[in-house]
Amino acid sequence: MQIYKVGGAVRDRLLGKPVTDIDWVVVGATTEEMLAKGFRPVGADFPVFLHPKSGEEYALARTERKNGRGYGGFIFHASPDVTLEEDLIRRDLTINAMAEDDQQNLTDPYHGQRDLEARLLRHVSPAFAEDPLRVLRVARFAARYAELGFTVAPETLELMRQLSESGELEALTPERSWKEIARALMEDQPQVFIEVLRECGALKVLMPEVDALFGVPQPEAHHPEIDTGAHTLSVLEQAALYKQPLTVRWACLLHDLGKGLTPEEEWPRHIAHEHKGLKLIKAVNERFKAPKDCQELALLVGKYHTHGHRALELKPSTLLELLQSFDVYRRPQRFEEFIAACEMDARGRKGLEQRSYPQADYLRGAATAARSVAVQPLLEKGFKGPELGEAIKSERLKALKAYKAVAPA
Ligand code: ATP
Ligand code: MG
């Protein structure tokens, strides 16, 4: 059997990027031979194995044939007579379809190296269209390598456009889509992921609620960029610049969905968009079965981001309601993430990226003030049950009034 490095490891070495995980392809072997060497099979009907020591993935060279919708509709053919070239042609992009032996000799039948130099994301063959997930993968790679000047080849974009129109994207499982979305949002330029999806018409299918924000104006005084879609992209860009976690990036993407529902007569104002957006945020959350912490933060940020911006003007009682809604006493981290999302929202405005955001420290101070109320003395005074709850709240309100009186405006 011959063993080759394939995919990302080869690509990233040629790009001079750090290689994190290595995928291997094995030519000329059978499942039995792999098992005899101690490799552990990954799935029952999938010719992929884990190395007994390194845990890296070794896949038998295989060909694929499509026989139905979605990813389940694939027939794999793995046998010792499948060649390296036959295995490479089923891969998504030319830059991902190169292999390397242990002497670093490159096998590159589909000109991945040429496309690396030309900074092009180009599909290997028309079979690209057989797995709609590739639309998301290409957009993710566009986000990852935007910094290096990569763009999607026009003919690949055209194929992605056809795939988006064909209805095939709807056959993707939430789990597969979410994995790509989550990885793409964690790239350095996540906004490029959304831009590419939009350009090929996939955004309209996957997240019509986000797509609808493009072309919707906001008041120029607060939003010099005017367009709500452009604003959303900038907020994502800031979130990546500030190395925010996935929860915050997800919340940033969805925070303004309500603005897509504003009747045109009301433009450029968006009265109560926070509240109107909640059902849309919920729908997107559920469509991709986003993890619970992402779902929760997106809804809270959607509902309260304007409170965040107006923090310094909020009455103590409103401030208290905000802190209670976040259960800031038991979930301090989640409130920090809310503050971060608000700050990214404020920075995601044209020309205002560098403006300070005093609301952040003000909100942190308010949380600390409310949290400093001790329960023990109230218990000692004999408060119990709902009365105790009321007493705690009233002490917290007092603490917030005192905080507001002295906090620097
Ligand atoms: P990363 O650095 O994100 O891991 P990668 O290129 O290694 O990038 P993997 O998802 O690990 O991506 O996949 C390894 C290789 O398998 C890819 O380079 C590509 O050749 C192929 N591949 C993975 N998923 C698909 C797919 N859905 N369609 C076609 N080829 C795929
Ligand atoms: Mg990989």
Q: How far apart are CA 118 and CA 58, in angstroms?
A: 30
pLDDT for position 44: 72
Give 91 Cα–ligand 1 centroid separation in angstroms: 7
Largest CA distance in the chain: 83
Residue 177 Cβ contacting ligand 1 at under 6 Å: no
Residue 70 Cβ contacting ligand 1 at under 6 Å: no
Give the closest residue (by CA) to ligand 1 atom 18: 7
Structure tokens at 8: 């990302």
Ligand with the closest atom to the CA of 64: 1
Q: How far apart are CA 298 and CA 341, in angstroms?
A: 9
Give 22 Cα–ligand 2 centroid separation in angstroms: 6
Give 140 Cα–ligand 1 centroid separation in angstroms: 11
Give the residues of the chain that fall short of pLDDT 50. none
Give 48 Cα–ligand 1 centroid separation in angstroms: 13
pLDDT for position 47: 87
Most informative mutation of 23, 24, 42 for ligand 1 (most atoms within 8 A of CB): 23
**Per-residue pLDDT tens over the stretch 162-195:** 999 999 999 999 999 999 999 999 999 999 999 9
Give 91 Cα–ligand 2 centroid separation in angstroms: 12
Ligand 1, closest atom to CA 21?
Answer: 4
Give 334 Cα–ligand 2 centroid separation in angstroms: 31
Q: Which residues pair with 100 in a beta bridge?
A: 5, 106
Q: Which residues pair with 40 in a beta bridge?
A: 50
pLDDT for position 64: 84
Ligand with the closest atom to the CA of 97: 1
Most informative mutation of 5, 22, 56, 91 for ligand 1 (most atoms within 8 A of CB): 91
pLDDT for position 54: 92
Residue 225 Cβ contacting ligand 1 at under 6 Å: no
pLDDT for position 55: 92
CB-side exposure of 245: number of CA atoms within 13 Å? Answer: 12
DSSP letter for each residue of 268-317: T--TTHHHHHHHHHHHHHHHTT--HHHHHHHHHHHHHHHHHHTGGG--HH
Q: Is 190 left (phi over 0), alpha (psi -120 to 50) or beta?
A: alpha
Opening angle at CA 407, ends 405 and 409, nearest 5: 100
Q: How far apart are CA 284 and CA 291, in angstroms?
A: 12
Q: How far apart are CA 356 and CA 347, in angstroms?
A: 9
Q: How far apart are CA 150 and CA 128, in angstroms?
A: 19
**Per-residue pLDDT tens over the stretch 290-317:** 999 999 999 999 999 999 999 999 999 9
* Residue at token pair 């809310």: 338
Residue 112 Cβ contacting ligand 1 at under 6 Å: no
Give the closest residue (by CA) to ligand 1 atom 4: 8
Cβ atoms of 92 and 128 within 8 Å: the answer is: yes
Give 54 Cα–ligand 1 centroid separation in angstroms: 19
Give the closest residue (by CA) to ligand 1 atom 9: 8
How many CB atoms lie under 10 A from the CB of residue 408?
A: 8
Q: Model-level pTM?
A: 0.95
Cβ atoms of 226 and 217 within 8 Å: the answer is: yes
